[in-house]
């Protein structure tokens, strides 16, 4: 890109480029050069906006965690409508889209990144921990509305859903699992507490 030409939304452009590299070539291929080449900008652009590459990666993960929080707000707003199984199935399918799986691979493969993320996510796996909190909030709202059993342990349900969802989606080449397979797992976990067949 020629010098002197302004790049609009440079952070988002760099984050999107990093996700494309992750999806195409995996976490080991993610370098500052790969990101800036994919974003079609000079390498210095990244370093003008971030202290170093690890800071960039941490901000990428935090940005994606922010998206999960926004999705959680919409999920909680849907409490009392549709079915609990349907909402959780949709939430897990959105959460474990291929970009999120790439981010999880990145987190688990880079010690320095995990160390930085411990500042905001002191326990668990960043992204999954926040997604679990979103599900806890949603399931608690449904319990308050009487759509889950009063004694439903929403913390355990959420952890089970996150773990099961991750196992369903991880390691797949190409297409995600069939929606029916995701729904079956969700129904097995929450169906009894929700009184849904």
CATH 1.10.357.10 spans which residues of the chain?
54-192
- Greater confidence (173 vs 190) lies with 190
Query: What CATH number matches the domain at 1-49, 2.40.50.100, 3.40.50.2000, 3.40.47.10, 1.10.10.60?
Result: 1.10.10.60
| Best-predicted range by mean pLDDT (65-69, 109-113, 124-128, 135-139) | 135-139
Q: What would the 3-class secondary structure string for 141-179 be?
A: HHHHCCCCCCCCCHHHHHHHHHHHHHHHHCCCCCCCCCH
Was domain 54-192 assigned CATH 1.10.10.10? no
CATH 1.10.10.60 location in the chain: 1-49
The CA-based dihedral angle spanning residues 63, 64, 69, 72, taken in that order and rounded to the nearest 10 degrees: 160
Flag whether pLDDT at 89 surpasses 60: yes
170: its two tokens: 């991880």
Query: Hey, is 7 helix, strand or coil?
Result: coil
**pLDDT mean over 2-16:** 71
- pLDDT tens track for 151-160: 999 999 999 9
| Overall average pLDDT of the 184-194 stretch | 90
Q: Give me 58's structure tokens.
A: 């941490």
Per-residue model confidence (pLDDT) at position 2? 44
Task: Give CA–CA dist 102/12, Å, rounded.
Answer: 17
Q: Is the pLDDT of residue 119 over 50?
A: yes
Question: What separation in angstroms does the CA of 177 have from each of 20, 89, 167?
Answer: 21, 12, 10
3/133: higher pLDDT: 133
In 3-state terms, what secondary structure has residue 124? coil
Q: What is the pLDDT of residue 156?
A: 97
Taking residue 67's Cβ as centre, other Cβ atoms within 10 Å add up to: 15
pLDDT band of 80, cuts 50, 70, 90:
very high
- The tens digit of pLDDT for each residue in 12-50 reads 999 999 999 998 988 899 999 999 999 999 888 998 999
- Is the Cβ–Cβ distance between 136 and 158 less than 8 Å? yes
pLDDT band at 62 (very low <50, low <70, confident <90, very high): very high
Per-residue pLDDT at 105 exceeds 80: yes
172 vs 168, more confident: 168
pLDDT attached to residue 176: 83
In the prediction, which pLDDT does 3 show?
46
Q: Does 5 score more than 50 pLDDT?
A: no
The mean of the pLDDT values for the chain is 90
């Amino acid at each position: 890109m020629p010098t002197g030409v302004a790049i609009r939304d440079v952070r988002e452009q760099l984050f999107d480029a990093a996700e494309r590299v992750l999806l195409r070539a995996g976490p080991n291929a993610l370098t500052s050069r790969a990101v800036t080449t994919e974003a079609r900008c000079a390498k210095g652009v990244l370093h003008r906006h971030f202290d170093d590459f690890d800071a960039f990666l941490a901000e990428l993960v935090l940005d994606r965690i922010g998206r999960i929080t926004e999705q959680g707000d919409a999920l909680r707003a849907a409490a009392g409508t549709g079915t609990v199984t349907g909402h959780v199935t949709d939430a897990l399918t959105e959460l474990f889209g291929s970009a999120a799986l790439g981010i999880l691979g990145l987190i688990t493969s880079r010690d320095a990144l995990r160390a930085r993320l411990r500042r905001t996510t002191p326990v668990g796996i960043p992204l999954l921990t926040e997604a679990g909190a979103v599900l806890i909030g949603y399931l608690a709202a449904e319990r308050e509305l009487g759509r889950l059993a009063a004694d439903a342990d929403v913390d355990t349900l959420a952890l089970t859903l996150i773990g099961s969802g991750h196992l369903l989606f991880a390691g797949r080449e190409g297409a995600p699992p069939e929606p029916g397979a995701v729904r079956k797992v969700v129904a097995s976990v929450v169906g009894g507490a929700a009184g849904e067949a």
